[in-house]
Structure 1
Amino acid sequence: MEYNKNFYQIHSNGDIFQRIQSERGTIGYYDLPYQDTSDIKAYAKTIVQKHIVVIGIGGSSLGVKAIYEFLLPSNKYQKDLVFLETLDPLEINHCLTKFDIFDAHFVVISKSGNTIETISLFKYLRTLVEINSDNCTVISKAKSGLTKFAQDRDIKVFELAENVGGRFSVFSVVGLVPLAMVGVDVDNLLNGCKRVSASFFDQSSYYAPIIRKARFLVENKARFNINVIFSYSSSLEGFNKWYVQLWAESLGKININKTRQALTPIALIGPVDQHSFLQLIIDGVRDKIVTFIKIADLKDNTIIPKSNDKNLGLEYAEGLSFNDLLNKQADATIESVEAQGDIPCDVITISTVDEYNIAKLMFSYQLLVSAIGEFLQINTYNQPGVEKGKAILKESLQN
């Protein structure tokens, strides 16, 4: 008697680790922490325009925006990053009123070179301002039409490797080039990635939390299929949006057993969403896992002042810094969730606001998603559902 099988089963942590080790030979994002940034930094220093305009969508802009918005409140950059990532004409033209397009450097990012949103926006911009080698940089794969366009005009091209997917590209030239132009310390970003990568692959401090969380999420996906991030800082709003794309586009797949997987991401900001979604978490259906993200030091010591008017009340909060109040609100919310006893939750505390720490957080999430994908036995790195919509749009426009 012979017996063969191909059905889904949950592998051991060791098996999953070996599978991720094997992925390093084909999936490009694993190597990004160890790249040489000399050319990127040297080129960035030649950019003289005040406004760095990123023209891209999805993985071509979300990660860059997440890092920039995290760092911006506590840094004074001489240049600013602007993002054009919509086809809404009202938003496009409103955005264009916010900066001087004649003092702008346009970074056009499209791996395929034919992303309809990006190329359409770029074509429109070319009717407003002359695009040339002095005010434009292109990031695309080696043989795309966009790359050919740039090469024909001596516009600088940074090639994006075929094996680096958009939502895993933030630490590639996609993120490093525009961030370096603004003045972000891209080497410190990569140092944060290296810290997590080395620890995980050495099976040191970052290994166990990532692999255990991935396993828990997969083993309990039938009951807890909604994954909530509750970030306690407005500077993490960009990270939240990046997380939603990374999670949804990577994990919403059909596995080898032809079973549809559904790990749904939801991203919240505290304390704002304490006044809405928290009610659903506490008293709603027990189908959610919650991850709280706190920042210990926001690099701002603004204090709640004392008031002589007793009608305002809340004297017990006077003299407290807003940073401390924000974290105390987070702690109170965490305690209220933990007190339920049947809502899985964990807490990530970022020590401070800098490149190193946001990179550690983001690279950890990339590794977590890769581990979950291996547990689920799916292709984490494709997006067939997205491609179907693109194909339908293209056909409809051509007919």
Structure 2
Amino acid sequence: MQYQHNFNPSISDEDVFTQIQAEREHIGYYNLVHQETSALKEYASSVNQKNIVVIGIGGSTLGTYAIYKFLKYSKNLTKKLHFLETTDPIDIQSKIKNIDLEDTLFIVISKSGTTIETVSIFKYINSLVTCDKNNSVVITESDSKLNEYAKANNIKSFEIPKNVGGRFSVFSAVGLLPLAIVGIDIDELLFGAKTAYDSFFNKEDTYERIVKKARFFVEYKNSFNINVLFSYSSRLDGFNNWYIQLWGESLGKVDINSTRQGLTPIGIIGPIDQHSFLQLIVEGRRDKTVTVIKVNDFENNLKIPQVELRGLEELNYIDNIEFAYLINKQADATIESIRNLGDIPCDVITIDRVSERSIAALMYEYELLTSVCAKFMYIDAYNQPGVEAGKVILKEKLQTGR
């Protein structure tokens, strides 16, 4: 008798961990925490331009922007980092008019080397200024068309490993090179990521947190299929956008039983969205989990001044309160109000301070969480077949539409 099946009983935590350990052999993002950074730092130190323009889209920019946005107001950066990532002509022109192109280094990033959006923008830049080895650098796969272009024009290039997907590439040259150039400590970034790596693979706090959370998400995905990230700092806006791509593109898949899977990511910012989306969370359908992210130390002592406003005297109790204290109390009030309801799954992540280590540890933990969720769901977190059809159709339309 021969027997074949595709039954998939609930996978154990230990089986998931074993599979993740095995993935380290062929999925490259796990081991980026161990990389040598001297070549990146050497190149970064040679850059004299004041403006650094990253030309890319999706995974080529979102992670870098997330870190830059989180850190830039706490660092004395001597260079400005800009991002050209959309083919919206108004966006392109409005950004470029505020950049001195003669004092700019262009970093062209495309894993495949043939990303239409990226090449289109780079072509436009080339019509405005001569792009050569003195003001351009390329980050791509070693055998891509973009790398061929770089070699033909004697332009420096850095490699994106083939086994590192775009949305998992922030701790490769994709993120580390532009961040190093503007003055962010990339060794501290990798230290923070490695802290999460070690804690997970040594089965410490990060492991316990991730596996418990991932199992809940997957086992209750039919009830709570929307995951809301409620970040209480505008500095985390970039992180929210990065998370949306990571979560959506990795987990929206068809599993091995041909069942459609997916957890819908939503990123909102507190306290702004206390006055909008929170209403939907509190009184809307019970189909959402909520993760609140707080920053413990903003390293800023800006206070509400003791100013008399006629007719508003009843609010004088806020005088002399630090804004950092206020925003964290707003977060605490939101958390308590959600927990008091008793039927909305909610967890809280508190970042200790605004630093390279803290943002990197958070991002690496979310990469691990994504991978673990995918294992529980029996899907491949690292491909994106759902977006390939659109790329093919676009190419056909552009080739035949002239």
Q: Aligned residue for 2:348? A: 347
Q: Aligned residue for 1:316? A: 317
Deviates more, 1:70-79 or 1:220-229: 70-79
Q: Aligned residue for 1:221? A: 221
- One-letter code of the match for 1:95? K
The answer as to 2:12 corresponding to 1:49 is no
Contact 1:291 1:346 in 2 (8 A): yes
Distance in 2 (alpha carbons) for counterparts of 1:388 and 1:103: 39
Distance in 1 (alpha carbons) for counterparts of 2:309 and 2:250: 54
Distance in 2 (alpha carbons) for counterparts of 1:79 and 1:384: 38
Q: Aligned residue for 1:152? A: 152
Contact 1:10 1:376 in 2 (8 A): no
Q: 1:185-264 maps to which residues of 2 (within 5 A)?
A: 185-264=185-264
Contact 1:52 1:79 in 2 (8 A): yes
Contact 1:270 1:330 in 2 (8 A): yes
Deviation per CA, 1:100-126: give whole Å up to 9, x if none. Answer: 011000000001000000000001100
Q: Which runs of 5+ in 1 are unaligned?
A: none
The answer as to 2:328 corresponding to 1:327 is yes
Aligned to 2:259, the other structure's residue is in SS state coil
- One-letter code of the match for 1:324? Y
Q: 1:4-83 maps to which residues of 2 (within 5 A)?
A: 4-83=4-83
Aligned to 1:25, the other structure's residue is in SS state coil
Aligned to 1:83, the other structure's residue is in SS state strand
Distance in 1 (alpha carbons) for counterparts of 2:397 and 2:376: 38
Distance in 1 (alpha carbons) for counterparts of 2:103 and 2:206: 44
Q: What is the CA-CA distance between 1:396 and the residue it aligns to?
A: 1.5
Q: Aligned residue for 1:381? A: 382
Distance in 1 (alpha carbons) for counterparts of 2:44 and 2:61: 18
Deviation per CA, 1:127-161: give whole Å up to 9, x if none. Answer: 10001111000000001111011111111000111
Aligned to 1:44, the other structure's residue is in SS state helix
- One-letter code of the match for 1:248? G
Q: What is the CA-CA distance between 1:310 and the residue it aligns to?
A: 4.8
Distance in 2 (alpha carbons) for counterparts of 1:357 and 1:10: 33
Contact 1:71 1:354 in 2 (8 A): yes
Distance in 2 (alpha carbons) for counterparts of 1:269 and 1:240: 8
TM-score normalised per structure 2? 0.98
Q: What is the CA-CA distance between 1:99 and the residue it aligns to?
A: 1.1
Deviation per CA, 1:78-118: give whole Å up to 9, x if none. Answer: 00100000101011000001110110000000010000000
Contact 1:8 1:255 in 2 (8 A): no
Distance in 2 (alpha carbons) for counterparts of 1:63 and 1:308: 43
Distance in 2 (alpha carbons) for counterparts of 1:25 and 1:4: 28
Deviation per CA, 1:341-378: give whole Å up to 9, x if none. Answer: 00000000000001000000000000000000000010
Q: 1:146-185 maps to which residues of 2 (within 5 A)?
A: 146-185=146-185
- One-letter code of the match for 2:194? K
Identity of aligned residues (%): 56
Q: What is the CA-CA distance between 1:308 and the residue it aligns to?
A: 2.9
Q: What is the CA-CA distance between 1:318 and the residue it aligns to?
A: 1.1
- Aligned residue pairs: how many? 399
Q: Aligned residue for 2:95? A: 95
Q: What is the CA-CA distance between 1:226 and the residue it aligns to?
A: 0.3
Q: Aligned residue for 2:137? A: 137
Q: What is the CA-CA distance between 1:19 and the residue it aligns to?
A: 0.5
The answer as to 2:370 corresponding to 1:369 is yes
Q: What is the CA-CA distance between 1:3 and the residue it aligns to?
A: 4.2
Q: CA RMSD in A?
A: 0.9
Deviates more, 1:313-322 or 1:345-354: 313-322
Distance in 2 (alpha carbons) for counterparts of 1:186 and 1:98: 27
Distance in 2 (alpha carbons) for counterparts of 1:151 and 1:220: 51
Contact 1:298 1:323 in 2 (8 A): yes
Contact 1:106 1:137 in 2 (8 A): yes
Distance in 2 (alpha carbons) for counterparts of 1:103 and 1:309: 47
Aligned to 1:311, the other structure's residue is in SS state coil
Deviation per CA, 1:235-278: give whole Å up to 9, x if none. Answer: 00000000000000000000011110120000000000000100
Distance in 2 (alpha carbons) for counterparts of 1:276 and 1:8: 41
Deviation per CA, 1:31-66: give whole Å up to 9, x if none. Answer: 000000000001100000000000000000000000
Distance in 2 (alpha carbons) for counterparts of 1:339 and 1:97: 50
Aligned to 1:98, the other structure's residue is in SS state coil
Deviation per CA, 1:176-199: give whole Å up to 9, x if none. Answer: 000000000000000001100011
TM-score normalised per structure 1? 0.99
